[in-house]
Amino acid sequence: MVMPRPRPHALPRAVLFDAYGTLFDVHSVALLAEQLFPGQGERLSLLWRERQIDYTRLLTMSGRYRPFWEVTRAALRFAALRLALPLDAAGEDRLMNQYRHLSAFPEARDVLAALHRAAVPAGILSNGDPDMLAVAVKSAGFAAWLDPLLSVHAVQRYKTDAAAYALGPQALRLAARDILFVSSNGWDAIGATWYGYTTLWVNRNGAPLEQLDCEPSHTGTSLRAVLDLLLPVKA
């Protein structure tokens, strides 16, 4: 179900998805984490993700850059130390490999296939490194449906920096307002809205809206909200 706000211009002509947390479930690593550290899997997954995003912000605000793969490993190490978990090199490698092959959300396949059938261009704009995105997309079986795969590595600035969001209009040769940017991360949806995208916040868990006097263009509870918005027009 989608809950749109009134908009003064036509619906978007293309879609860009955030990858981690939107198409791919970052907390699917919790199953392996629970096997390695019984009773701590969910806590490790949550803290790992929180610190990962914190590090991207710290690096960008400080004018520094490290690839997302390195940031993700550093965040895992911090989370394990914070929780006093005995993470050895083998366990670290297993968790990092699992992150490379995250599970896709159940509805993602049907949504991407429907967009493809309707000839709606669909791609990714992500903090992830190019090779991370390529592996995740291939592992999920989405390669035929997603193009381009845009990584902030090209500008070495993480979202919500304007240089990161600018990759979409540049690649698609469309105005930002003509692109539907889809993210399940509330902060990302707000950042993209500020940049000028038409935005869809996939609020799966009933989280409150960020209290920054800005709302995404649309809010839904699953990726199927993309189809509710676009396919009646495009079909």
Spell out the domains of the chain, with CATH numbers in brackets: 2-24+103-234 (3.40.50.1000), 26-100 (1.10.150.240)
Q: Which of 18, 25, 178, 188 is catalytic?
A: 18
Structure confidence at residue 189 as a pLDDT band (50, 70, 90): very high
Active site residue 18: yes
pLDDT (tens digit, 9 = 90+) per residue, 90-111?
A: 999 999 999 999 999 999 999 9
Structure confidence at residue 11 as a pLDDT band (50, 70, 90): confident
Of 1-5, 48-52, 126-130, 172-176, minimum mean pLDDT range: 1-5
Q: Is the pLDDT of residue 1 over 60?
A: no
* Average predicted confidence (pLDDT) for the chain: 93
Single out the residue of 53, 37, 51 nearest to residue 85, CA to CA: 37
pLDDT (tens digit, 9 = 90+) per residue, 142-179?
A: 999 999 999 999 999 999 999 999 999 999 999 999 99
Q: Is the pLDDT of residue 6 over 50?
A: no
Q: Is the pLDDT of residue 8 over 70?
A: no
pLDDT at 9: 52
Rounded CA-CA distance 181/128 in Å is: 16
